Amino acid sequence: MTDLPLYKAFGEAVAKRRNALGLSQAELAAKVGISRASVANIERGRQNVLLHHAYSLASALEFARVGDLLPSIPKRALAKPVTIALSDKSVGERGKAQITDLITFVLAKHTTGKGKS
């Protein structure tokens, strides 16, 4: 379990979008393949979120990118934009956007030193 602000912000984004779509926690849980209790804990920021669950949540909540669920990164965090070249041609535009968002987020945390425990 965690009480990190990152997980609270992520959980708030999940809850806000779920409510906007008119989904119950149980309905969202069924779409993602996790328990209703896990959805409740994620929404309260009390449960760490596995990477594949973050992507499943983004998809179930009808986001184009997983980054739409993540707290915003300060603009100054990265010195230059991230350019991703994928060798796998089967990755679609949505997948490319999600991968780029994830790498940008991780690099920003590493660059600013905020990812250290």
Whichever domain contains 30, its CATH number is 1.10.260.40
Q: What is the structure's pLDDT at 117?
A: 39
Please report, for residues 51, 64, 110, the alpha-carbon distance to residue 56 in angstroms, rounded to integers and kept in the order given.
9, 11, 25
Q: At what angle do helices 36-43 and 5-20 cross, to 10 degrees?
A: 120
The rounded mean pLDDT for the chain is 81
Same domain, 9 and 51: yes
Domains held by the chain: number: 2
Compute the residue count for the chain: 117
Same domain, 52 and 96: no
- DSSP 8-state class, residue 62: T
Same domain, 53 and 88: no
**What's the pLDDT tens digit per position in 34-70?**
999 999 999 999 998 999 999 999 999 999 888 888 8
pTM, 2 dp: 0.61
Same domain, 80 and 49: no
